[in-house]
Amino acid sequence: MRGSPGDRRPLLLGSALVGMLAFATVPAAQALGAMTAAQLYAVAFANGCATVVFSVAQQAALPVLVAPGQLGAATGQAESAERTAAILGPPAAAVLFHRVWPAAPFLVDALSFAVIAVLLGRIRTHLGPDAPSGVPSDEPPRGGLLAGARSLLRDPLLRDLTLLNSAGDLLFAGVGLLMIVLLRGGGQQGAGIGLVFSVAAAGGLAGSLVANRLEDRLGMAAAVIGKHVLTALLFPVLLLGLPPLGVGLLWGAISFQVSVVGVIQRKHVLLATSAELMGRVQSFTAFLSFGSLPVGAALTGLALDLAGPRGTVAGYTAALALLAAASIASRAIRTTRPPGLIRP
C-alpha cells in the first residue's frame, strides 16, 4: 500500500484487496456451513464501496498512462471491456453456481481481484495526480467532491454532457426491471428474457467499439443530439408488443447510442480536466452515476406499481423527450469546440 505522495496506486491496490477479501469470505463461510444473509449483504456493501473507489482512481489515472491523442481509443476500449464482462459474467456465474458449487462464483471473483492486485503491483509509473509533461500544475485545490463539482459545472459543454448522461443513468437504472415486467406480461419466460438482455448488451458493446469513429465522422453535436432524439422516438415502440428478438434489437439500438455518448462524455472530461483536479472531477461524476442507480430503480418500481407497464413506458418516453429537447437547446453542445483545460 506504500506509494509516493499523491500516487493513486494505493487506492487502486487497496480497493482490489478489499474486493478480494470480501468475496473470499463467502466460499470460506459456505465450506464451514456458516453462510448467512447478513454476510452476503456485508460483502455486497464492501464490494460496492471498493468498486466506486477503484473506478474513480482508475479513470483519473488513465491520462497519466495514455497520451492525449489516444484517450478516445483508451476510453472506448475500457468501455468495451466493461460491456464484455457484463455479457459474459452472468452466464458464467450461473454455470459455476449450478454446475460446480454455489460459492464458486465468489471464489472466482476473489481470484480475479487477486490478479488485479498483482498486476497493479507490477506498475512502476506514478499514477498521479501530478500533472503530465506540458500541463501546468497549481497547488491542489481543497474541497474534494465539491471542488470537482464546481470545476466541472462551470464548463458549459462538460456540464451539459454530464447532466444529460446523469439524467439518462437515472432513467435507465430501472430499465431492466421494466423489460422483465413487459416480457413476462407477454408470456415470456427465462429463455426469451435472456435473449433480450444478451442482444441489448451486444448493442452496448458495439457502441463502445465505434464511438470514437462515429464522433469523428458525425461530430459530437450530431452524435449526442441524435442519441437523445432517436432514443425518445424508439422507446414508445415497446408498446407495440414486440417478440423477444424485436425487444432485444430495440433495446440493443438504444444501448448502442447510450454507450456511444457515454464514451464521448468520459473522453471529453478526461481531455478537459487538469491533472490536479482529475480525481475530484471523477469523484463527482461517479457520485452522480452510482448515486442514480438505487434512486432510478426505486422510481421505476414505484411507477410500475402506480401506472403499470404501459404507463411506465409512456412516462419514460415523456422523460426521454425532455432530455432530447434539452440536448437540442444546449448551445454548448450545438456549438461544440475542442475542450479547454479545466483550471482550479
* Residue partners of 132: CB distance under 8 A and separation at least 6: 63, 64, 275
Please give the pLDDT value at position 299.
92
Do 159 and 39 fall into the same domain?
no
Q: Are residues 35 and 112 in the same domain?
A: yes
pLDDT for residue 41 is more than 50: yes
Query: Is residue 37 one of the residues assigned to a domain?
Result: yes
Q: Is residue 135 part of a domain?
A: no
Is 90 exceeded by the pLDDT of residue 57? Answer: no
At 182, is the pLDDT very low, low, confident or very high (cuts 50, 70, 90)? confident
Same domain, 178 and 296: yes
Q: Is the pLDDT of residue 37 over 80?
A: yes
Residue 165 within a domain? yes
What pLDDT digit, counting tens, does each position of 253-301 carry?
998 988 888 888 888 877 777 777 777 787 788 888 878 888 998 999 9
| Count of structural domains, the chain | 2
Q: What is the mean pLDDT of residues 137-165?
A: 74
- What pTM was computed for the model? 0.74
In sequence order, what are the residues at sequence separation of 6 or more whose Cβ sits closer than 8 angstroms to the Cβ of residue 201? 83, 86, 87, 252, 255
pLDDT at 149: 82
Look at residue 326 and tell me if it is in a domain: yes
Same domain, residue pair 228 and 327: yes
Bigger pLDDT: 6 or 90? 90
| Spatial contact of 212 and 76, defined as CB atoms under 8 Å apart | yes
Lowest-pLDDT choice from 132-136, 226-230, 243-247, 316-320 = 132-136
* Mean pLDDT over each residue of the chain, to the nearest integer: 82
The pLDDT-based confidence of 132 (bands split at 50, 70, 90) is: very low
Higher pLDDT, 231 or 122: 231
Report which of residues 21 and 158 the model is more confident about: 21
Which has the higher per-residue pLDDT, 7 or 211? 211
Structural domain span for residue 197: 146-331
Residue 77 forms part of a structural domain: no
Same domain, 253 and 114: no
What pLDDT is attached to residue 69? 73
Residue 135 is predicted with a pLDDT of 41
- Say yes or no: 154 and 112 in one domain: no
Residue 6: predicted pLDDT: 55
* CATH number, domain with residue 199: 1.20.1250.20
Residue 85 forms part of a structural domain:
no
Specify the pLDDT at position 38: 92
Considering the domain architecture, whether residues 56 and 173 belong to the same structural domain is answered as: no
